[in-house]
Amino acid sequence: MKIAFLIHNVYGIGGTIRTTLNLAAALADRHEVTIVSMLRHRAHPRFAIDPRVTVVPLVDLRADAADASDPLLREPARVFPAAEKRYKQYSRLTDLRAEGYLRRCDADVIIGTRPGVNVYLARFAPRRALRIAQEHLTHDTHSNGLRTQLARSYRDLDAVITTTRADAGVYRAKMPLPGVRVLGIPNSAPDPGPAPVDGRDKVVAAAGRLVPAKRFDLLIEAFTDVAAKHSDWSLRIYGAGADKERLQRLIDERGLGDQARLMGVVSPIETEFAKASLVASASDAESFGMTLVEAMRCGAPVVATDCPLGPAEIVQDGVDGRLVPVGDRHALTVALLDLIADESGRRRMGEAARTAARRFDPARVAQTYEDLFAELDTTRRSRARQRLKGRLRGLPGRGLRRLRSGRRLLRNLARLRG
């Protein structure tokens, strides 16, 4: 079977890139896999890519590339939705390259990995292929305008996959898609190897984009209380982003010195998680919670806010980690202090975390996708009937809305003439 992934920019750094590469490598055990990168900005990808996986870039943004002088690169995109937050990075050239590739694509399964790219998938991919949209962001984080665009595009696909069961439920409730399979399949993370965390190093680690929603400021505040009681413990935050200077000022203002440090981007992050005794996340919201899975695979217990939508589907509170209320500095501090004071408890929880995280092994997740491919293939006709019935049910409502709109237009014209 030939499988193609459509991704924004495989040459960058991010959770969607990591998880796509994990899944692609696992599927490459039995299939021919290609990753189609809409954009390319550097010579080599930052993450290692399985040599069995083919990478096809569509638009080369490097200054010395031929695409840099193409006038279409400076024309705004017409197909990529304007409400998508990456819209300014797309162009008429991207539209045309995506259309050209997809119309000629001979893959049996084509998987898009972000909303705007999924619009390309719905618009241009051949109908003989199974067309699957992954959603690495949640339904409710999309603007109303983008959701309207996606509802029109997604109804033509075979499946929409979210990273959590909870978000799949939101899509089914708020974006009915007759004939389209909507389900949650978690991201995968490989086994980092035979050396799990031993629970002795006095380090709390955290990782992610340095942006307000990740609430590293709350984690620093909570660690200020921890440091007052345990001066031999340190906090290490890995990542990059717009919040870096603000977070550094907060560390300085709290007098944490080298006890709390911003470490920059490190890949693979598992090497750092394996040096920590705890991994913490204070996010206000997560579409999944990839760092939690990566920490648990290293045998590190996690302390995380019980934010929508991912952590509760990853962490079993009190067994392989701790969940605390969103935005609650005191609860976060207490959970950290409890685990810091209980070394044997940390080890038991870390062992439980390592065992529980096996369900995110790439081979298992890949098998779930293969089962889905088989199901979608055998239900093509029945889902096509569901899709047709759904559209027929919507015709009266759409016709009535058009009639009302026409009447309003005629009234407005009459007023202008009068």
- The residue count for the chain: 418
More confident residue, 410 or 118: 118
Stretch 379-394: mean pLDDT, rounded?
A: 87
Whether 182 and 247 map to the same domain: the answer is no
Whether 39 and 144 map to the same domain: the answer is yes
Is pLDDT of 247 > 70? yes
Whether 147 and 44 map to the same domain: the answer is yes
> Of the candidates 141, 164, 2, 174, which has an alpha carbon nearest to the alpha carbon of residue 154?
174
Cα 249 → chain centroid: 29
Whether 14 and 100 map to the same domain: the answer is yes
Whether 132 and 253 map to the same domain: the answer is no
Instruction: Give the pLDDT score at 302.
Output: 96
pLDDT-derived band at 199, boundaries 50, 70, 90 = low
Instruction: Give the pLDDT score at 414.
Output: 60
Structural domain boundaries, residue 285: 203-360
Whether 25 and 54 map to the same domain: the answer is yes
Instruction: Give the pLDDT score at 317.
Output: 95
Q: Is the dihedral of CA 164, 165, 171, 176 positive or negative?
A: positive
Stretch 99-125: mean pLDDT, rounded?
A: 98
Q: What is the pLDDT of residues 122-139, one digit of tens each?
A: 999 999 999 999 999 999
pLDDT-derived band at 64, boundaries 50, 70, 90 = very high
The upper half-sphere exposure of residue 108, i.e. CA atoms within 13 Å in the direction of its Cβ, equals 11
Instruction: Give the pLDDT score at 14.
Output: 82
pLDDT-derived band at 299, boundaries 50, 70, 90 = very high
Whether 218 and 182 map to the same domain: the answer is no
Whole-angstrom distance, CA of residue 303 vs CA of residue 296? 11
Instruction: Give the pLDDT score at 194.
Output: 67
Whether 158 and 236 map to the same domain: the answer is no
Whole-angstrom distance, CA of residue 162 vs CA of residue 210? 24
Instruction: Give the pLDDT score at 393.
Output: 78
Stretch 25-48: mean pLDDT, rounded?
A: 96
Is pLDDT of 410 > 80? no
Whole-angstrom distance, CA of residue 56 vs CA of residue 110? 14
Element (H, E) at 159: strand 159-162
Whole-angstrom distance, CA of residue 247 vs CA of residue 236? 12
**Residue 165 within a domain:** yes
**Residue 198 within a domain:** no
Whether 247 and 322 map to the same domain: the answer is yes
Is pLDDT of 406 > 80? no
**Domain finish residue from 360, 387, 404:** 360
Structural contact between residues 221 and 191, judged by C-beta atoms closer than 8 angstroms: no
**Residue 194 within a domain:** no
Structural contact between residues 383 and 158, judged by C-beta atoms closer than 8 angstroms: yes
Q: What is the pLDDT of residues 248-297, one digit of tens each?
A: 999 999 999 889 999 998 888 888 998 999 999 999 988 888 999 999 99
Is pLDDT of 402 > 70? no
Average pLDDT of the residues of the chain: 92
pLDDT-derived band at 391, boundaries 50, 70, 90 = confident
**Residue 13 within a domain:** yes
- DSSP-assigned states of every residue in 353-414: HHHHGGGG-HHHHHHHHHHHHHHHHHTHHHHHHHHHHHHHHHHHHHHHHHHHHHHHHHHHHH
Whole-angstrom distance, CA of residue 316 vs CA of residue 336? 16
- DSSP-assigned states of every residue in 264-333: E--SSTHHHHTT-SEEEE--S-BSS-HHHHHHHHTT--EEEE--SBSHHHH--BTTTEEEE-TT-HHHHH
**Residue 414 within a domain:** no
**Residue 367 within a domain:** no
**Residue 100 within a domain:** yes
Stretch 53-80: mean pLDDT, rounded?
A: 97
**Could you tell me the pTM of the whole model?**
0.86
Instruction: Give the pLDDT score at 134.
Output: 98
Domains identified in the chain, total number: 2
pLDDT-derived band at 399, boundaries 50, 70, 90 = low
* Beta sheet of 321-324, edge-to-edge order: 260-264, 234-238, 203-207, 278-281, 302-305, 321-324
Whole-angstrom distance, CA of residue 173 vs CA of residue 117? 23
Whether 82 and 162 map to the same domain: the answer is yes
Structural contact between residues 246 and 173, judged by C-beta atoms closer than 8 angstroms: no
Whether 317 and 234 map to the same domain: the answer is yes
Instruction: Give the pLDDT score at 132.
Output: 98
Contacts of 76 (CB under 8 A, 6+ apart): 91, 92
Is pLDDT of 416 > 60? no
CATH code for the domain of 356: 3.40.50.2000
Whole-angstrom distance, CA of residue 107 vs CA of residue 128? 9
**Residue 94 within a domain:** yes
Whether 252 and 153 map to the same domain: the answer is no
Cα angle value 406/409/411 (rounded, 5°): 110
> Quick one: what percent of the chain has pLDDT higher than 70?
92
- Other residues' Cβ atoms within 10 Å of the Cβ of residue 282: 26
Is pLDDT of 150 > 60? yes
Helices 362-378, 15-27: inter-axial angle, 10-degree rounding: 70
